[in-house]
Structure 1
């Protein structure tokens, strides 16, 4: 297994994975929109994408995670938002999610960030993975949403 940070040159690899991720969350396929969205994120250094490959020759992409920067005014520190985690359906349950999350945690530590926050649907089975890897539901904070 080989994991590395994506660049703009990897768009052709990331776009189908990102589109699959969005379809998992009941969104219509939109490869053109995915291209535009990811190009903007990577061009402006607005996110970090880690890609998991089958091997170091990068012959097959198996999944990705996308991290966005956040800031804490109280602690005056940077944090990461683990917003996207996607493993191709045929490769789920093989430890790829664990490797991607551990790579994200290493990035967090090496870049001296406070920690990683994530949110997921209540029904998402990946919650067990998050808890197993040290993520805890915050008993002191509530999540609110407005439009």
Structure 2
């Protein structure tokens, strides 16, 4: 299993994971695949927006972390927002989400950010 930045060829399989993410949400959402693909690709290529990490197991994408750049006025440094973390259901409970989170913290450190910020629904007991 590896955690790595997304590449161009990841966008199509990522769309399936994003659909699963929103399908599993308490507030389901049908995504516009074209718009989402464009957004994910932009996030993947423009570090001023944030970053897109993927979890890969046996050459299959099984999870992702969508990260956005923000700013911390206390430290006067950028801050990385961990906006979305998702692992496909059959790959859960093996620490993949934790590894995605750790990779986000490492990325923030490498970029000289103040740190990361993350919030989740109070009903998300698994997190």
Relative to structure 1, the CA distance from residue 104 to residue 43 in structure 2 (aligned partners, 3 Å threshold; closer, same or farther) is closer
CA apart distance, 1:43? 4.3
Where do 1:81-92 residues align within 5 Å? 81-92=81-92
- CA distance in 2 between counterparts of 1:98 and 1:21 reads 17
- CA distance in 2 between counterparts of 1:23 and 1:120 reads 17
Give 1:104's aligned residue. 104
Give 2:44's aligned residue. 42
- CA distance in 2 between counterparts of 1:119 and 1:77 reads 20
Unaligned runs of 5+ in 1: 128-147
Higher relative contact order (CA 8 A, sep 6+): 2
For the aligned residue pairs, the C-alpha RMSD in angstroms reads 1.8
Equivalent residue of 1:37, what SS?
helix
- CA distance in 1 between counterparts of 2:70 and 2:126 reads 22
Equivalent residue of 1:122, what SS?
coil
Counterpart among 27, 30, 47 of residue 29 in structure 2: 27
Relative to the length of structure 1, the TM-score reads 0.75
Equivalent residue of 2:35, what SS?
helix
Q: How many pairs does the alignment contain?
A: 124
Tell me whether 1:52 sits opposite 2:55 in the alignment: yes
Unaligned runs of 5+ in 2: none
Relative to the length of structure 2, the TM-score reads 0.85
